[in-house]
């Protein structure tokens, strides 16, 4: 897990280096401070598209962020989803909802008050409540033949951490589009020992301690003067 963690940090290093270099070359007069509050709400439009192609899983995700001094964005994300496994030797379904909290840091200075575009890196903490149905299974052994059984249903919780990076661009006044890439690191692997969920909305494959994900958001910003 730690090898993947440091790989993500290494990939983000060029962005951080560039941003620090750009900030050093500019004077403090160039970085005009905003005179507005901004809260932004959005929806990940990539997930409904993927739902059309993957019939065994689905998810829906939204995001809210609030701009604070030092070009930081406090973030709240949430959503829901599930999976339906119906194989000849295994069948069950899962549903879950999730929330994430974290912060994004803009790596480029704002040049004027109406400049809200930004390139960022960030961190998240995610938690999901998962409900797995009763699971039927069947195994085949060359000596004992076929064996079938049932694993009782279960409700449990998953925790994970994320490293994020991405971009937001204001296409029209108040309307944004942009992407977020994520490296996710499961913190509660023991909860998945009995029968890992095939898919956990907000995280990904339940049998993987480290996963990577992508979101593409459309967002709208509400602004008001301080």
Instruction: Examine the pLDDT at 141 and tell me if it is beyond 90.
Output: no
Residue with the bigger pLDDT between 44 and 3: it is: 44
CATH architecture label of 2-23+36-225: Beta Barrel (2.40)
Instruction: Examine the pLDDT at 159 and tell me if it is beyond 70.
Output: yes
pLDDT band at 15; cut points 50, 70, 90: very low
- Specify the pLDDT at position 26: 44
The DSSP code sequence of 85-138 is EE-SSEEEEEEEEEEEEEEEEESS---STT---EEEEEEEEEEEEEEE--EEEE
- Specify the pLDDT at position 21: 43
The DSSP code sequence of 62-95 is EEEEEEETTTEEEEEEEEEEEEEEE-SSEEEEEE
Instruction: Examine the pLDDT at 146 and tell me if it is beyond 80.
Output: no
pLDDT band at 34; cut points 50, 70, 90: low
């Amino acid at each position: 897990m730690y090898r993947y963690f440091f790989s993500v940090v290494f990939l983000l290093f060029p962005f951080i280096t560039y941003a620090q270099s750009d900030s050093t070359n500019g004077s403090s007069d160039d970085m005009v401070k905003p005179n507005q509050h901004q809260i932004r709400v959005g929806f990940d439009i990539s997930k409904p598209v993927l739902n059309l192609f993957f019939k065994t899983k689905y998810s829906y995700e939204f995001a809210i962020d609030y701009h604070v001094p030092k070009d930081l964005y406090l973030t709240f994300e949430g959503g829901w989803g599930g999976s339906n496994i119906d194989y000849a030797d295994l069948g069950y379904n899962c549903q879950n909802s999730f929330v994430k909290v974290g912060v994004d840091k803009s790596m480029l200075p704002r040049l004027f008050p109406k400049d809200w575009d930004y390139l960022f890196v960030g961190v998240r903490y995610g938690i999901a409540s998962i409900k797995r149905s009763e699971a039927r299974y069947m195994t085949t052994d060359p000596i004992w033949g076929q064996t079938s059984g049932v694993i009782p249903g279960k409700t449990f919780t998953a925790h994970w951490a994320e490293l994020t990076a991405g971009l937001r661009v204001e296409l029209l006044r108040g309307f944004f589009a942009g992407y977020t890439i994520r490296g996710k690191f499961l913190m509660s692997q023991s909860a998945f020992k009995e029968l890992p969920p095939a898919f956990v909305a907000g995280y990904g494959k339940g049998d993987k301690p480290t996963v990577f994900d992508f979101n593409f958001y459309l967002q709208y910003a509400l602004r008001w003067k301080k």
